[in-house]
């Protein structure tokens, strides 16, 4: 999504901008009433051009890349880790003397890591039961149905015996 060298990602670049200017981040100014802000992967992960603009960043895929794992039997998301960085689009402001010498740079302001997962005991148990129920559910229904049928047959036979006992005693 942030790699503008791929043609399919260029739709994330705002109109009027060169796609090379959007490389490494997604311009969110249209969603923020024109505020010069956007999002990227933390520490400009996988974006060497942007990484070279800011000193002190050390991208690490283990820490800064998100993922989504699915529970294959339920086709439900099991674990989600989303890592995003807030970026300000800094550029000179010629009409303000103090800001006229600013460099043109994408400045990281903060980054956030969101985590949600089914690795808690309750959710893990529900996923385990749900996955195994889908896998073995037909067998469970088969034996459950046979058990209920046997129970009803037994009840029916005992009812019939009681009816015959009542008829014979009168």
- Domain count of the chain? 2
Based on the number of CB atoms within 10 Å of its own CB, is 25 exposed (0-12), middle (13-18) or buried (19 or more)? buried
138 and 83 co-located in one domain: no
- 150 domain residue, yes or no: yes
pTM of the model: 0.56
25 and 77 co-located in one domain: yes
Q: Would you write out the chain's pLDDT as a tens digit for each of its 170 residues?
A: 566 667 777 666 666 677 677 777 787 877 788 888 888 888 888 887 787 878 888 888 888 888 887 776 666 677 888 888 998 888 898 999 998 998 888 888 998 888 877 666 666 677 777 777 766 777 778 888 898 889 888 888 887 787 777 777 76
């Amino acid at each position: 999504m942030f790699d503008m060298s791929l043609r399919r990602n260029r739709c994330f670049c705002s109109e009027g901008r060169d796609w090379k200017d959007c490389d490494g981040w997604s311009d969110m100014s249209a969603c923020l009433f024109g505020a010069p802000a956007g999002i990227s992967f933390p520490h400009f992960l996988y974006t060497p051009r942007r990484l070279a603009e800011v000193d002190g960043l050390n991208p690490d895929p283990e820490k800064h890349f998100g993922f989504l794992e699915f529970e294959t039997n339920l086709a439900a998301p099991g674990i989600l880790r989303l890592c995003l960085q807030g970026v300000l689009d800094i550029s000179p402001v010629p009409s303000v003397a103090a800001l006229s010498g600013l460099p043109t740079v994408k400045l990281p302001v903060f980054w956030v890591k969101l985590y949600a997962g089914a690795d808690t005991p309750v959710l893990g148990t529900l996923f385990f039961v749900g996955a195994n129920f889908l896998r073995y559910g037909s067998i469970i229904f088969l034996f459950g149905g046979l058990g209920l049928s046997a129970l009803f047959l037994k009840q029916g036979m005992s009812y019939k015996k009681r009816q015959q006992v009542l008829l014979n005693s009168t």
